[in-house]
Amino acid sequence: MLSENGLDRYTLKKLKFEISKQNIKGYSNLKKDDLIKLIMKYKERFQHLDDGVKRIDKSDPVKNLKDKIAFKEKKLKIKEKEMKELKKPKSKPVPKKETDKQRSERLTRVFNLIAPPVKKFKSKYL
């Protein structure tokens, strides 16, 4: 159900857009209050608009409760599975094969750590 109070929460731009979708002419110079009155005049065309009032679900409350419980149980099962996966030890990653260039760079670094290259220096006196 549309009500004037519920339509107050829509912006002027949104109201004009909704009126233009319904092919109603002569709305471009109207103020917000006048737009709301125009929408109320053609109420049957604007049933898709929500007036902001929460409706009470009048269907079977027991069924709704069962659905909520089933949903929460399903959510808990998913969380339990995630927790089990987190507790599992991760497998070690398979090392990639190194290329010849990478091997030579690695060996160079290792040998430089063991015996750093000797720096040649020039003496002023020689």
pLDDT of residue 34: 92
Under the banding of pLDDT at 50, 70 and 90, the label for residue 73 is: confident
pTM: 0.41
Predicted confidence (pLDDT) per residue in 28-68, tens digit: 899 999 998 998 898 888 888 876 666 655 666 666 777 88
CA angle 35, 36, 39 (to 5 degrees): 90
d(CA 97, CA 106): 13
Q: Residues 41, 29: contact at Cβ < 8 Å?
A: no
- Show the tokens assigned to 33: 């209050």
* Residue 95 clears pLDDT 80, i.e. is over it: no
